[in-house]
Structure 1
């Protein structure tokens, strides 16, 4: 399967200014994800998608392929990932290069265990899924069967059930997207304009060195992880 790896990195981060090229340890943030991607034997090509010339300059210094400059209108706070991916696919299609699937690798999840990308790709291919995402298990206290939402001044179970599951052992496993890997078939991206489709596979990420960088508190956690790794 011909798979395009895309590392999206726009400028204008508010929670962590200059986040995508901010130095974490001794490297710019995007380098962590690039180094993980380079170790993959199943990605056909790895590129950066960015509108920001400073980010592009850093990417080129670390030998990360930047085949185009992303349009400014696709680098806004509200720009969905699907539009960024479709722009990249169109760029390559115009050059008669077609990919069977796309692997989105967000630099905000810098730490991925060895071979994790290829493990995800293998499960994606073998399961013939529309998409596959990496997930982490929710702590029981955040399980949707124990979450309430407000409606007209009263609480009701978020699942819509009338009775709460009283025993922890009775809770079904629940997961959240961890942002490490998103894999989607090209036909799903193009025909459904969706990252997911209807047949969604998953692989659980149990790596203890996990952080999703959104705030300065998250950044401090990433720095602590690096210190413990040394």
Structure 2
């Protein structure tokens, strides 16, 4: 039986560190166009919706095939409003049934794939409240250091783990910042926390680039070009 699923992309207009980043050109397409395309190609969703406070972002999103059924209130588009608050607002406005599958997709998830989304959807079962995208830390965080004063002196955060071999330490993961699956009723629960009752989709390191700063953006441009070169080379072998 087909379960109704909705993709919601939260894309505010007031990005400070990279102005207009959600619709900034990225390899020939507005940035938000890449995750919209991934959502469309995944065959997971009945609707792909953008929630924004910005008329230009709304227009661009509609041109790319997404729906913008309302403009978000400016009080939910400041530097302090959390993602869950924004998605909750959209779920309420859309009047979604409690069991509807809802996937929050970040508008600068430039390396998102439809397969990732489909894998996440499959994991959202009765015993799983959330499914999120994760990346693996390149080195064991159990052997991390912390600054202990302004002179630059450091101390081991877990001294007992420092003598251990890297291969003997458990891997650790970080939020890759691409998507979160949950049912509408979970998004509406103000006490629900993404890390409670969660499953995950582990992404390869070459696709784990969170776009927060101009340096992140430049790194993403280079990485995207490299992945495209590799893709073309594999499809046209000598």
Q: If the length of structure 1 is used for normalisation, what is the TM-score? A: 0.86
Aligned residues: 223
Please list, as runs of the form range in 1=range in 2, the aligned pairs for 1:1-230 lying within 5 A after superposition: 1-93=3-95, 100-125=100-125, 128-140=127-139, 143-149=140-146, 158=157, 163-166=160-163, 167-196=165-194, 198-206=196-204, 208-228=206-226, 229=228
Distance 2:76 2:69 in 1: 16
The root-mean-square deviation of aligned C-alpha atoms, in Å, is 2.4
Any idea what the Cα deviations from partners look like across 1:126-150, whole Å, max 9, x if unmatched? Answer: x73110111111012xx33112445
Taking a change above 3 Å as real, the CA distance of residues 108 and 42 of structure 1, as seen in their structure-2 partners, is same
Q: Are the counterparts in 1 of residues 52 and 72 from structure 2 also a CA contact under 8 Å?
A: yes
SS in 2 for 1:64: coil
Contact in 2 for aligned 1:189/1:195 (Cα 8 Å): no
| Per-residue deviation, residues 71-110 of structure 1 (Å, max 9, x unmatched) | 00000011100110111111012xx655523211102221
The alpha-carbon deviation at position 225 of structure 1 amounts to 3.0
Q: Does the residue aligned with 2:50 lie in a helix, a strand or coil?
A: strand
Consecutive unaligned residues in structure 2, runs of 5 or more: 230-238
Structure 1: 5+ residue stretches without partners: none
Other structure's SS at 1:181 match:
strand
Counterparts in 2 of 1:175 and 1:61: CA distance versus 1, 3 Å: same
TM-score, reference length from structure 2: 0.84
**CA separation in 2, counterparts of 1:150 and 1:211?**
25
Q: Equivalent residue of 2:204, what SS?
A: coil
Separation in 1 of the partners of 2:217 and 2:195? Answer: 32
Q: Distance in 1 between matches of 2:28 and 2:159?
A: 53
Q: Secondary structure of the residue that 2:133 maps to in structure 1?
A: strand
Q: Is the 8 A contact 2:98 2:185 kept in 1?
A: no
CA separation of 1:192 and 1:78: change in aligned 2, threshold 3 A: closer
**Alpha-carbon deviation of 1:165?**
4.3
- State the alpha-carbon separation in 2 of the partners of residues 22 and 77 from structure 1: 19
